[in-house]
Structure 1
Amino acid sequence: MTFEQLTILAILAATVAMFLWGRWRHDMVAMGALLACVLTGLVPLDAAFAGFGHPAVITVACVLILSHGLHDSGAVDALTRAVIPTRSGPTLTVAALTGLAALLSGFMNNVGALALLMPVAMQVASRQSLPPGKVLMPLAFGSILGGMTTLVGTPPNLIVSGFREQAGLSGFGMFDFTPVGLAVAAGGVAFVALIGWRFVPTRERAGVETFETAAYLTEARIPEDSKADGMTLLALELELEQAGAQIVGLVRNEVRVTAPSASRRVRAGDILVIEAEAEALAEALSGLGLKLEASKRPPSDGEEAGPADGKADAAEPDSRKGASAGKARNDLTASAAQATAGAHPEEPEDKKRDKGRTDEIALIELAVLPGAAITGRSASDIELRTRHGINLLALSRQGRRSTARLRTMPILAGDVLLMQGPPETLLQFASWAGCVPLAERALRIPSRRRAITASAIMALSIAVAAFGLLSAAVSFAAGVLASMVFRTVPPRQVYEAVDWTVIVLLAALIPVAGAMEATGAADLIARFLLDAVARGDPVIALVLVLVVTMTLSDLMNNAATAAVMCPIALGAAAQLGAHPDSFLMAVAIGASCSFLTPIGHQNNTLILGPGGFRFGDYWRLGLPLEILVVAISVPMLRLVWPF
């Protein structure tokens, strides 16, 4: 054993120990390992930070951003309702998501499959009152399992096929991996869905999502093409009950009915007064195709008011006041961008508009302090929209319910207001009005236009990568750029959507894994185990190839693991006089089974932040799953690919 091999193994052992200890944040430990490799000469100075430009790192960052766009636009709502039974329990919902992830991963990049379903998993977790990780880890593992079923499902399969061709045999076909891979995937998905998800440790994400207020009272208009048009109030209440919302009033022709009959049919143009938690507003709106009444744009001279169906995308210049209704933006409030950034009510209109131009819109909760300037006044009295350029979307009043319209309801001390507008305008208004900002809400206001655009961008990005027209990193990066151009992800939120601790972790460990391969340490470990333990038995050698590949894949990039283990597998088959296919297939299965750490596979890394996981959380479900994989794959390998 050389000095370089001893050094990299010592650094790797210390890194894993620090990860498992959990005293330091995982990105700090990873950066420490990288610097140790640089200082000892194992990683060249000019390659120290090459990991930050690695395609895997770019892919992870871009997928996080695209997933954010799908989530916020409401694009996943329809998919959630189609895939997940409405009244199913946690076991059935986890089974449906995990199975769908495995199916998609067989024919598309498994990172893309996870990105498509991650927002759905977050919604399901919320609906089932489960920690996000209880759904995210089974979803990630299902997407990894599904990748081993076809040639294009995962990069290690392509690498194994290439080594078979270099050995003088033809490459594997598209479905040569299916018999063994499908058996392993089916067994793994069944275990994860029925039993394994309970092994996932309970973790909660810290942040503003944990802030709670009482239910909001808000108004939603029924548009012409709404599912609610023509339904009875009883039917509507049954639909809203699933989202944790209820109807407390009806407004028709500007007349409010406080206790409408359950048999009354609603029609387009009616306004429903809905009481719901902040997180339930999006589901209540999207499920029935409703529009927030506060988001309806006031008409300007020569222009009709247009309905809103999403967050405001950009400022609309005054010169466009004469545009037709068909060209009006479908924003929650385009007029918010024309108003003043916290202007005083007595300031002239033109001055306020010039000061307040912005194309960034935020949602924020404001608590009304005792003695606030707006106490006893309504949104109409304050002229929130025309003078301040902001909207009151909903109001939370604990223990009390008003019969007044939202825009005419007097604001009282202790109320919590859900406001929308330019961030600077909202903060300046809070200071002037005597309110305290509580939390910026990531509330999804459903928008059909944005949802369709976000879905099309994601689908196109996945298709381009799946068909090999562009690499995954380039394809997803182009998708991010398109998302910014079409504003499915506002530019201000692009960098907020990325979990940078995960990016640093992955980027720092890629050169470390490269040093392990370059020094021959990985090859040394694998050969030692084969020579010392197998002792000429082909079955034991096959099991060792599989287990060693799985172990290395938990610590290294799975493609690098396949590249290291394929020559060893071919050599072992030659020494034992066995056919190489069974050993190469063992490498393909093992390289795809990275379930013990968050760094073995990009999908494990993707769920690290959203699931609130620690480095040592993965083995609790991953270890029994890897044991099951060995138990299923070894007999199947001997049956389908005999020696």
Structure 2
Amino acid sequence: MFVVMAQDQLIIIAILAFSMGMFIWGRWRHDMVAGASLLACILTGLVTPEDAFSGFSHPAVITVACVLVISYGLQQTGAVDVLTQRLLPSSAGPTLSIFALTALAAVLSGFMNNVGALALLMPVAIQIAVNQGLPPGRVLMPLAFGSILGGTMTLIGTPPNLIVSGFRDQAGMGAFGMFDFMPVGVSITLAGVVFVGLLGWRLVPARKQADTASFETGTYLTEVRVMADSKAAGMTLREVEAKLEKEDAQIVGMVRGEMRVIAPYSRRLLRADDILVIEAEPESLGAALATVGLKLEAEVMAENMPDEPVEAEADKPANEAADKVTKKAAGKSTTRMNRRGRPVAVKPERTPPSVLARTGEQTAKKSTGKTDGSGDGKDTDSGKEAEESKGPSKHDELVIQELVVMPDSPMLNRTASDIELRTRYGINLLAVSRQGRRSVKRLRSTPVQGGDVLLMQGVPEAVSGFANDYRCVPLAERDIRVPVKGQAVLAGSIFLIAIALTATGVLPVAICFGMAVLAYMALKIVPPRSVYTAIDWPVIVLLGALLPVAGAMASTGTADVLAQAMLDWVAQGNPVVALALVLIITMTLSDFMNNAATVAVMCPLAISIASQLGVNPDAFLMSVAVGGSCAFLTPIGHQNNTLILGPSGFKFGDYWRLGLPVEIVVVAIGLPVLLWAWPL
């Protein structure tokens, strides 16, 4: 028996076959292949030019982009660290950790959108991978598959379930209830999570992210203060060290008042305002601080520091302020007041030209009361200039940047106090990395040496100005974060509100997540300049380009022809075989088409087959619901598969190694349960 296919159906099959071959070959990046497939459909007339880029406005694309930003925000604020500590085993090996995370994702997905569940736990998975020394993909793929499986348990767990329920209602049989999906959903979820969490994760290829940093700076030495409301206050050093060790950090010194202790007694009780010198990896620095509620000493000093000399001079005669600038430029010694109100001598130094120019310009403006030759002689801008000289305000966008001190830097053998780093530049020295050598001197009194790596915090322009003045080279940007108190709770609350709005059906998931991203930007949880760097754009292009291609497969009737041909050739009137084929065909189509489109194509076909065979259509509709969700062979079959593509460094052909065994488990467990729960 031969199937007669129209020309456009043959063309779309050829394009899809060529695309799958290119994806598996891996020579071209996946977004290039997707773009080529879309262009081929346009040139052959399968997709009109007007609809060519309609995929980029699809809710799935917007959702994926928003999830990536939200995930970044949860990770940067330390909310992920709190979640990891409270919900997952702290001292487990990789198998138990992956199993627990996969199971948690499955449970959450049953009662919230499975994309949202993955967004919540994806940063946790990355942290577990780091702690266990695993490639991120070996934790992220089980997490994604667990969230997909969990979504099959309830009506709201995944969009295909809602679509199937809608088709049943349109057919006059009424909509499915909230928990009608549970018998089959729970069975395949339990089997799938056990397989993936205990054994299957080992099948995932070990890949590294393409943008992984290619340099190693070693550990950082930094100072942290025990705050009055810190968990560490009242704990012994030994107890604090035990918690820090879990984040690969250790205490190497302590300062109490004017007393510096190089090897502090392990049973010494910590008090408020004690300063600890800790050694930590750059990526784990933020988690180490969040563990016991410590705060960077540089930030404490910045909050308590008096106004800068330039601001104090705002109301002085212009000639006196100018004289002071001249004295600094000439290397004259000056006297400043420290935090305790005592006079301290400041070593003479030559003010870098950029700072001198800025200060002279401010002085000139104050003396004339004009800006750029305009004005009426009133001192209208002096307050503004003084305000600008304070350094970063709470509204400024702060960055954390690593700077390498060059061998000919003017800063050699000088300290942060010598150059008045905070006063003149408005930036904080958070930590120093000096490979092979350890020092427990106070950071502000540690002489800088060539090759040191300085961890600086400040507004981008100020950090760049310092780097230019003192010949420091910035390293490539890395994910080094210092949690801001209160932002973790704020970020988590916004995300949970978005999830609640989605789960109750108040607004679509794309709208809810878009609102959450806007709130993150407005509240500086994710700085506006970081929003677009948090999005993996090749993944967005992949999804946006292939959605019209998948639509062409449905609009040309190719999916209907292929499904009907398989049923005619193989089922041959046997309802059990027909049920198995509907499940397998739906899973296969969903691997290469959007799952919502797949379910929309297969539901009418399933109802028609059940009617022709004279059997219960509910079993066939349930098989469509399960097959439409369980797409594990490709990154384009489900949004959750797409989300982990970039962070895992996967190729298109990496998914089937774990995905094929999982789909076999789904069919082996799901088919008998379908026949039991929904008898034919």
TM-score between the two structures when normalised by the length of structure 1 = 0.92
Structure 2 counterpart of 1:235, from 239, 242, 247: 239
CA deviation map 1:588-613 (0-9, x unaligned): 11001010000010000000001111
TM-superposed CA distance for 1:66, in Å, is: 0.9
Q: How does 1:192-591 map to 2 (within 5 A)?
A: 192-298=196-302, 343-344=354-355, 348=359, 351=362, 354=388, 359-591=396-628
**Conserved 8 A contact 1:396-1:417:** yes
**Conserved 8 A contact 2:400-2:481:** no
Q: Which moved more, 1:357-366 or 1:173-182?
A: 357-366
CA deviation map 1:577-598 (0-9, x unaligned): 2111111111111001010000
| Partner SS state of residue 302, structure 2 | coil
Structure 2 Cα separation of the partners of residues 451 and 256 of structure 1 = 33
**Conserved 8 A contact 2:188-2:670:** yes
| Partner SS state of residue 365, structure 1 | strand
| Partner SS state of residue 512, structure 1 | helix
Structure 1 Cα separation of the partners of residues 516 and 352 of structure 2 = 32
Q: Which moved more, 1:249-258 or 1:407-416?
A: 249-258
**Conserved 8 A contact 2:596-2:628:** yes
Match of 1:89 in 2: 93
TM-superposed CA distance for 1:212, in Å, is: 1.6
CA deviation map 1:34-75 (0-9, x unaligned): 111111111111111111111110111011111111000001
1:607 and 2:679 correspond:
no
Instruction: Give the letter for the 2:287 counterpart.
Output: E
Structure 1 Cα separation of the partners of residues 221 and 38 of structure 2 = 53
Q: How does 1:152-171 map to 2 (within 5 A)?
A: 152-171=156-175
TM-superposed CA distance for 1:428, in Å, is: 2.8
Instruction: Give the letter for the 1:91 counterpart.
Output: T
Structure 2 counterpart of 1:102, from 106, 112, 116: 106
Match of 1:122 in 2: 126
How many residue pairs match? The answer is 611
Match of 1:594 in 2: 631
Rate the CA distance shift 1:422–1:342 in 2: closer, same or farther, 3 A.
farther
| Partner SS state of residue 219, structure 1 | strand
Structure 2 Cα separation of the partners of residues 221 and 342 of structure 1 = 35
CA deviation map 1:312-344 (0-9, x unaligned): xxxx9x99xxxxxxxxxxxxxxxxxxxx99943
TM-superposed CA distance for 1:151, in Å, is: 0.8
**Conserved 8 A contact 2:583-2:667:** yes
Identity %: 61
Structure 2 Cα separation of the partners of residues 346 and 508 of structure 1 = 52
TM-superposed CA distance for 1:623, in Å, is: 0.2
Structure 2 counterpart of 1:31, from 32, 35, 49: 35
Rate the CA distance shift 1:434–1:178 in 2: closer, same or farther, 3 A.
same
**Conserved 8 A contact 1:365-1:419:** yes
Instruction: Give the letter for the 2:447 counterpart.
Output: P
Structure 2 Cα separation of the partners of residues 71 and 131 of structure 1 = 18
Structure 1 Cα separation of the partners of residues 270 and 526 of structure 2 = 34
Structure 2 Cα separation of the partners of residues 102 and 481 of structure 1 = 28
| Partner SS state of residue 386, structure 1 | helix
Match of 1:635 in 2: 672
CA deviation map 1:393-443 (0-9, x unaligned): 000111212232111000011211111112232223222212221222322
Rate the CA distance shift 1:288–1:126 in 2: closer, same or farther, 3 A.
same
Q: CA RMSD in A?
A: 2.1
CA deviation map 1:484-543 (0-9, x unaligned): 111111101011110010001000011111111000000110000000111111111111
Structure 1 Cα separation of the partners of residues 674 and 40 of structure 2 = 41
Q: Which moved more, 1:108-117 or 1:457-466?
A: 457-466
Structure 2 Cα separation of the partners of residues 135 and 301 of structure 1 = 44
| Partner SS state of residue 394, structure 1 | strand
CA deviation map 1:371-400 (0-9, x unaligned): 211000000111111101211100011121
- Gaps spanning 5+ residues in structure 1: where? 305-315, 320-339
Structure 1 counterpart of 2:15, from 11, 19, 33: 11
**Conserved 8 A contact 2:225-2:296:** yes
Instruction: Give the letter for the 2:435 counterpart.
Output: Q
